[in-house]
Chain A
Amino acid sequence: MLPYLALAAVLFSAGLFGVLTRRNTLGILMSLELMFNAANINFVTFNKFISPDNMIGQMFAIFVVVVAAAEAVVGMAIVLLIYRNWQGVNVDNMRIMKW
């Protein structure tokens, strides 16, 4: 079981790194997908090795996939909007989260 979890950890770290460092908004979204997948791998792993009698782990993974899809759709729409308003998708231009 532990190799799977380790793989998930690496994948999650890579996604985290992407989220924290990518300048491109689309890159951030893709890194987010990586993190979702890392979480999903954990769900499925635990489902198989810890509680195979009920399928809640997989069920959760399925919902995560669905929500990720919805997130991707809305995210893409927002990216389009940002692009339209800032003439670019780099987060460097968007330092508005301060007073």
Chain B
Amino acid sequence: MTEYSFLICLLPLFAFVMIVFFLRWKERVSAGFSIGMILISWVMSVVVLFETFGREIAYEAGYTFIDLPNFILEIGILIDPLTAVMLVVVTTVGACVEIYSVGYMDGDPLFSRFFAYLSLFLFSMLGLVLANNFFMIFIFWELVGLTSYLLIGFWFEKKSAADACKKAFLTTRIGDLGFLVGLFIIGVFIGTFNYQDVFQRVTEGVAAGWLAPGVVTTAAILVFCGAVGKSAQFPLHVWLPDAMEGPTPVSALIHAATMVAAGVYLVARSMHLFAASADASMVVAVIGIITSVLAATIAITQRDIKRILAYSTVSQLGYMIMALGLYGYDTALGHHSPGFYAGTFHLMNHAFFKGLLFLAAGSVIHAVHTNDIFEMGGLLGKMKKTGYAFLIASLSIAGIFPLSGFWSKDEIVASTHGHPVFMILTLLVAFMTAFYMWRLCFVTFFGKPRDQQRFDHAHESPNVMTYPLIFLAILSICAGWVGLPWLSHGFASFAYHGEAYHPHANWVLMGISTVVAVSGIVLAYLMYYKGSISPEKMAARFKTLHKLSYNKWYFDEIYDIILLKPIMALGRFMWTFDVKVIDGLVNGVAWFTILWADIKEWFDTWIIDGAVNGAGWVVCQGARIGRLLQTGSVQFYALFIMAVSVLFTVLKIDLVTGGSIFSGAAIWIIIGVAALSLLSRLVPKSDREVESEE
């Protein structure tokens, strides 16, 4: 099956093409076809995953796309454990989201198009995962960006959605630019794009000294720029919360589970680069933890359910990035670290429970038609399946034993071993995560309904929406068990970098993280369920902090001032310059052209046309004389014919005679007399008529 794994990404593309060209008019068929294709992909992915278990070395296949003398671009696939895991994650969440969308998007006028876009996205994402070189991953990287743009702006008639998709596209593009430059550096200094070749040469080159460490550091940081944009890391995280304007299934699939994880995947995939440069790895780790803390503090005070989840996503992605960065740092310095395993493991678990959270949130929104959690409340009783799924996911993300989030978060905390600042901040984020997630749960599902009308209107979603929730809930519980520290061949010894890592149960760490998580939940319980601590008083006491958090640290405003305003001012200046100088030049050229054209027109009118008209005038006058010959009298015509033929005969008479009597001069005299007598014929008509009236 591994040999055919390229089909995994081509099947959704096939669905996209079929829907766009043939099935667009039949909504149910479109959705069914799309779901069928992703289910086949899912089955294949699972089979590929199982086949990968037994394989020692990665499977790679491809063919040469562009063959340059000293550079080769190829198109190919690389199946290693990381790819296999990502394939399963993407197809699982993708299938769940597509099934869920049948219910969620029901009645939307662009129903078929939605599934076409989803299929296109899945093609791009799976292609990104399957790619075996940086060239291909960049193409698919841009393709997922495009589909993300299309899907955020799916309800493009809404201005906020249209703005959000623009913002997302442009912001990620900043990161992509860095990524592209990084690729150039790789291409120039390393000479290939193929992953395994690049990594091998980097390791060799640094060891042998022909590759400067600074080059590797630069390349790694620039590649990381792409991840910063795609995974919404500080300082490019601002687009992800706005991207929540898209349909909720899109948020679940693209902006929680898969596409934003592509950045993490990229860092994991390029781990050899980072492992070769401690500086770059530290940059990655610092960016990760800053993002994580920042997003967590913002999430605490938000009211919009999807935005809370979005900041939670940013925070968790920061977690993973940090873990990977610390792993790279430790490896570069020769230490062992669980960071790589922790990051990828958390990536998988996060995909499941965050996808579940979004889908459940979508179900809630579907029921109450609002995003504001303070207009909800007590929904658990009315929406049992959705509510319990949401609670399971919340427990999982908070890191409660024995749900999947517990195991991966534990490993992330473990990977900060030896970096006390990171460890403290990581635990702080874990605490805040537990707090804001359960704040969300308590406000939404418990207590008394705050908006009775919305509460009455609420209802459980249809089965097509709840079954994916249940499936994902099961995964949220169980997926982490593949990485239990007691397993001898668990996740850590499957997807690894360098040499296999064997985790061991660290009871102290487990205890600490459990305490942190539980205390976060308890605080949320006290503040938002029990009411023994007033949220308002807390907000008043930490007024500055609350304001900062509530306004998202003023990032949008800061960007507006330091980036947008100057750019707009520059743009206005450019516009003025354009209008005054460029247009002036252009208009001057046009004015000169017109002047020149006027001169030419004058010349044309008086000289050229004069010549032409003059020729016509000459012909007219000649014809005025000539027409007198046309008298209408047959006799005159006959005379003319005779005169001409006789004259010509006389002219040529000396051919026969040798010229005896008609000498040259005599002939010319004769011709002259004949011509004169013919012209004498041209007397005005009236004279002749007077004569003939006799």
Chain A residues at the B interface, C-beta cutoff of 8 Å: 16, 19-21, 23, 28, 90-92, 94-99
Per the bound structure, the CA–CA distance linking A54 and B642 in Å amounts to 33
Interface 0/1 of B612-635, CB less than 8 Å to A: 000000000000000000111111
Per the bound structure, the CA–CA distance linking A23 and B633 in Å amounts to 11
With A16-B642, A92-B692 as known contacts, state yes or no: A21 contacts B632, CB within 8 Å. no
Q: List 20 A-B contacts (CB under 8 A).
A: A20-B635, A20-B638, A20-B639, A20-B642, A21-B635, A23-B692, A28-B635, A91-B634, A91-B635, A94-B633, A95-B631, A95-B632, A95-B633, A96-B632, A97-B633, A97-B634, A97-B637, A98-B630, A98-B631, A99-B630
Chain A nearest CB: distance from B670 CB in Å? Answer: 16
Residues of B within 8 A of A92 (CB): 692
Chain A nearest CB: distance from B684 CB in Å? Answer: 14
Interface of B is mostly: helix
Tally of B interface residues using CB under 8 Å: 11
Chain A nearest CB: distance from B191 CB in Å? Answer: 88
Question: 16 additional contacts, CB 8 Å, given A20-B635, A20-B639?
Answer: A19-B635, A21-B635, A23-B692, A28-B635, A91-B633, A91-B635, A94-B634, A95-B632, A95-B633, A97-B632, A97-B633, A97-B634, A97-B637, A98-B630, A98-B631, A98-B632
Residues of A within 8 A of B634 (CB): 91, 94, 97
Per the bound structure, the CA–CA distance linking A28 and B633 in Å amounts to 13
Chain B nearest CB: distance from A20 CB in Å? Answer: 5
Complex: chain A residue closest to B685, CB-CB = A95
Per the bound structure, the CA–CA distance linking A95 and B637 in Å amounts to 11
Residues of B within 8 A of A91 (CB): 633-635
Of the listed residues B634, B639, B692, the one surrounded by the most CB atoms of chain A closer than 10 A to its CB is B634
Complex: chain B residue closest to A28, CB-CB = B635
Interface 0/1 of B632-672, CB less than 8 Å to A: 11110111001000000000000000000000000000000
Chain B nearest CB: distance from A44 CB in Å? Answer: 24
Residues of A within 8 A of B637 (CB): 97
Per the bound structure, the CA–CA distance linking A99 and B639 in Å amounts to 19
Chain B nearest CB: distance from A61 CB in Å? Answer: 24
Per the bound structure, the CA–CA distance linking A41 and B632 in Å amounts to 34
Per the bound structure, the CA–CA distance linking A32 and B634 in Å amounts to 14
Which 5 pairs, one residue from A and one from B, show the smallest C-beta to C-beta distance?
Answer: A95-B632, A98-B632, A20-B639, A98-B630, A97-B632
Chain B nearest CB: distance from A8 CB in Å? Answer: 17
Residues of B within 8 A of A20 (CB): 635, 638-639, 642
Residues of A within 8 A of B692 (CB): 23, 90, 92
